[in-house]
Structure 1
Amino acid sequence: MHRILNNTKGDRWIWLIVILLSVISLLAVYSSVGTLAFKQGKGAEIILMKHVFMMIGGIAIMYFSHKLDYRYYAGISKLLMIVTVPLLLYTLFFGAHINGASRWIPIPGTGLSFQTSDLAKLALITYLARSLSRKQENIKDVKQSFIPIMGAVCLVFALIGPANLSTGLMLFGVSILLLIIGRISIKQIAVVCLAGAVLLAGMLTFGGRKGTHASRVKVFLHPELADKDQLFQANHAKIAIASGGVFGKGPGNSTEKNYLPEAFSDEIYAIIIEEYGLVGGVALVGIYLFLLYRCIKIVTKAPKAFGALLACGLSFSLAIQAFANMAVAVGLGPVTGVPLPFVSMGGTSILFTSVAFGIILSVSKDIEEPKKKKEKETDNSGPNKIIVGEISVA
């Protein structure tokens, strides 16, 4: 264990945040899986142990991801895009349908399902970071720079959006942010936004889930016109939050976990507030804000454009997803199927989130190592040392 800790590099605060989120996740998931365990005829401990193994696997993947120099991800990004596009196409037409959406590909023999949009996030963000950093000299060139970048963004959005519009919109927003930081002209960004708006209009008009999207937005904007079934999830989330008070009911004492669908995933923030109160809810918001702050510091100090864009895209993707989940729970947005990063119970989503954390830590490690090396050289050449040729005498 001591050897592993010595080999752990990168921003120590981010490692601490990961540990805190892991502890919060284990407590919240164990409390909220009772109804799921009853439906499946299992004990809650069995489901918790499965979640524990996924968390341990995620932290292990994070460790190995951060040990790999982040520059290698530039080459990996091309392979990821080549693999991602066919997988998204397969998922769209042949994926497993859960809750009316085709977002998953079952992994044979494991009992797990693989959500291809999680892979698409990593693939697109790493690809954009690579493309923008390598095309800075001719970034204004439409043919060489703009068209390939715009094509990648719109293609991934078009493949994710029909089944998972909320994730597609968040990823599209992060992509626009990267284009702005990558010095793409405002006119070209406007063209990308226009193309995205056309694709969005097409999904809402002709998509297989057009009724679901329209219904959720309508219920959010005009709840007085909705029936009880449409308001069921939103109302019980509000009940959970209101009954939590300032300090909450205490760990495991939630009652709304028995009513809220996906209490262990999409609505886990409402359960956390019910059990830990306003204090717990604000503390969790603070953890994600502090994570974003540490990531921004990494972005500003990164010596290479690729590292800065990579850390920026991944950190904002995690932060936007977190705040989108919490906004839905407190009634500030329409119902979506977005989990809370590294807190909600999930399978492969935890693993891909861990890879994102690992890459951010890899960029952070690249910043810290030259600094430590410089400090070491300064210590070795201090007033208590006399350097004679290659020999240092105290």
Structure 2
Amino acid sequence: MHNFGVYWRSLRSRIMVFDAPLAIIIFLILSCGVVTLYSAGIDFPGRLEDQLRNIVVSFVIMWIVANIPPRTLMRFAIPIYTFGVALLIAVAVFGMVKKGSRRWINVGIVIQPSEMMKIATPLMLAWYFQKKEGALHFKDFVIATVILGVPVGLIARQPDLGTALLVVAAGFTVIFLAGLSWKVLLSIVAFIAVVTPTVIWPYLLHDYQKDRVLTMLDPTRDPLGKGFHIIQSTIAVGSGGLTGKGLLKGTQAHLEFIPERTTDFIFAVFSEEFGFIGNAVLVTLYFLLIVRCLMIAANAPTMFSRLLAGSVSMIFFTYAFVNMGMVSGILPVVGVPLPFLSYGGTALVTLGMAAGIMMSVQRNRKLVQT
């Protein structure tokens, strides 16, 4: 009987690994996403069912990762990062080309290796700084920049600016939280400001990327071409008014003026049908999600856990900020989905892993305290 009690407590501790506040917030955002996808995807049979399956898979992955202690995650940092970079190199050599981008590789199933680098890169950086804890020098930050730069360069070359931006945000957060000097940070900002108009814009950006920036600044320069999608999405966001037009009543979406309305531009559908009040609720949920993640990061027991949790917090923030910004017309369109709202299995798997990492960090803190 005593052995059964011990076994039951052990089993229950493995089942009940979800951090309640974080799980509730994610569940509420997913609920908003399912309702919106029901409307946005009504002309796409099977899409809602696929998303429900993706959500189940995401929660299973979240549970599995939540059961892995941060110390074990740290052991896998080098193999995962090395494997991810090898796949990126393989994509560059013989990857599949779709819509002008070489981002996928067929290994029995078609995968997009850049997705895993959103987690693998900050994981590797957090491992590196954990090993150097208490003895950090300037050269360590240089090495960390190289660790970050390798996957970012390979992803940007595909080209996939949206994913590269997310990897930069997550990786640089680790470097900054590890103790990067404000002077160095300001110097980097000043350097980027100088090289953007002289090097990055004329030589490094592709023509379509330049067009996206110019279209963001003035969508009316090509209202029936490159600017059409931004104009229509901003019309959808604004036409929702205070309370929205109601579920299934968004004209911009159902008259097919909004592009990619189940994926990258689902926020436009949500805004049109639920209005300013709906947006306020959604933004509040994302704010609570990020705050909860930052609280977990601040209370993490080790440097590795703190850096990794901090980078995951930045991933969630960057996803939400960039997507809402591009749909609203204040940022260029870069193909970043809205977390836990947009349709897509790969993104949900990545987000499930990220949420699982947060819950693993929180669970480990409780175990350390007890």
Sort the Cα spacing of 1:200 and 1:176 in 2 relative to 1 into closer, same or farther, 3 A. farther
**3-state DSSP of counterpart to 1:71:** helix
Asked if residue 18 in structure 1 is aligned to residue 26 in structure 2, the reply is yes
Say which of 28, 39, 45 aligns to 1:31. 39
- Give the conservation status (yes or no) of the 8 Å contact 2:66–2:360: yes
1:306 is paired with a residue of what secondary structure? Answer: helix
- Residue 339 (structure 2) aligns with: 341
**Other structure's SS at 1:136 match:** coil
The residue that corresponds to 1:128 in the other structure is 125
Moved more, 193-202 or 9-18: 193-202
User: Residue 140 of structure 1 contacts residue 185 of structure 1 at CA under 8 Å; is this kept in 2?
Assistant: no
With normalisation by structure 1, the TM-score equals 0.83
Matches of 1:70 and 1:245, distance apart in 2: 45
Aligned-pair CA distance for 1:100:
2.4
Structure 2 counterparts to residues 119-268 of structure 1, below 5 A:
119-140=116-137, 142=139, 145-162=140-157, 163-186=159-182, 205=202, 210-257=206-253, 258-268=256-266
TM-score (norm 2): 0.88
Give SS of 1:103's match.
strand
Instruction: Report what 1:89 is aligned to.
Output: 89
RMSD: 2.6
Superposed CA deviations along residues 136-187 of structure 1, whole A, max 9, x for unmatched, are 2321152xx2343121111111111131113213322332232121013456
Stretches of 4+ aligned residues off by more than 6 angstroms: 3-6, 190-193, 195-203
* Aligned equivalents of 2:250, 2:53: Cα separation in 1: 25
Question: 1:272 Cα shift?
Answer: 0.6
Q: Secondary structure at the match of 2:247?
A: coil
1:302 aligns to what? 300
In structure 2, C-alpha distance between the alignment counterparts of 1:299 and 1:364, rounded to whole Å: 8
Cα drift, residue 196 of structure 1: 11
Q: How many residues align?
A: 356
Conservation of the 8 A alpha-carbon contact between 1:179 and 1:189? no
Change over 3 Å in CA distance of 1:6–1:306 after alignment to 2:
closer
Looking at structure 2, the residues matched to 323 and 105 of structure 1 have their Cα atoms a distance apart, in angstroms, of: 29
Greater CA drift, 335-344 or 250-259: 250-259
**SS of equivalent to 2:225:** helix
**Equivalent-residue separation in structure 1 for 2:188 and 2:339 (angstroms):** 28
State the SS of the aligned residue for 1:308. Answer: helix
Identity %: 26
2:362 counterpart of 1:359: no
**1:233 maps to amino acid:** H
Which has the larger displacement, 89-98 or 335-344? 89-98
Q: Distance in 2 between matches of 1:4 and 1:348?
A: 29
Contact 1:161 1:203 in 2 (8 A): no
Alpha-carbon contact 2:26-2:289 (below 8 Å) kept: no
Q: State the shift of 1:107 in Å.
A: 6.0
The AA in structure 2 aligned to 1:321 is Y
Unpaired stretches in structure 2, ≥5 consecutive residues: 1-10
